[in-house]
Structure 1
Amino acid sequence: MSNLTIRSLAELQQYEGQELGVSEFYTIPQQQINQFADTTLDHQWIHVDAERAKTESPFQATIAHGYLTVSLLPYLWSQIVSIENLKMQVNYEIESLRFNQAVTVESAVRLRAKLLSVKDLRGIAKARIEVTLEIQDSKKPAYTGVITFLYHFSS
């Protein structure tokens, strides 16, 4: 399903400074928001009380937790790039993540990714990726930031 397949540090380095692609849109349903609230123990009404949100929320609907939208990163990232020939992948860092716009229930979001840099740490690739979570039919993204993965390639 990914548009791009990378199998080595050298292949990854070829894409440095380039946009890698955009995922498909994914719609966030209320059931997923409720499950996330149960998992994280964050049952703030703006996420789970649809009736109250209709009348009291500036969005007139429930909104996805910001961290729920961040948790979609691995799923959406895998639609853009398939990293193969790995011993291990480590989620290393999230830097300068800024939530710009709330994601209302039943909104469709997609990930846009650009490979900012790749460093060779004695055979381990440290990849810094600029990420933007776009909301369908919205000028403002849900968030922007930079994530860093460590890729331990097999050879």
Structure 2
Amino acid sequence: MSAGENNGSADRIKAIKSTLRLVPDFPKPGIEARGFMFGPAIALAIGAKFVPLRKPKKLPGEVISEKYVLEYGTDCLEMHVGAVERGERALVVDDLVATGGTLCAAMNLLERAGAVVVECACVVEVPDLKGRERLRLHGTPLYVLIESQFEPTS
């Protein structure tokens, strides 16, 4: 990669970072499913299928679930039964990694269904909350676009 290409990449990341904003007390209360902005596009770009993992009662039909602990309480992810086949390779994509709870729950859910999670990708990482360390224990690589500092609300 030439120096010019490297500067172009740094400029793009700087531009993306400048458009992000902190939303106090998110995700409780507030909207969810922000990862859906990225997952389908990435799946399409790499020629993979998209498998939605959602909060309880958001998916129709039969589901399997995985409960997990977050920095603000507990939660649960659900996935359609039969969404993945034994041995299929999976990439977990989300918008944010903080404590790593959601990503670990997603990996556990996919692996219980027989998939092999090969890596995780997130737009933003909050390193202070040590999610990467939790994922390292799981043995799955994590790729992030931007690191952000944890700024507690008053």
Instruction: Tell me the TM-score normalised to structure 2 length.
Output: 0.24
Which has more strand, going by share of residues? 1
Which has more helix, going by share of residues? 2
Q: For CA contacts below 8 A with separation 6 or more, give which structure has more relative contact order.
A: 1
Instruction: Tell me the TM-score normalised to structure 1 length.
Output: 0.24
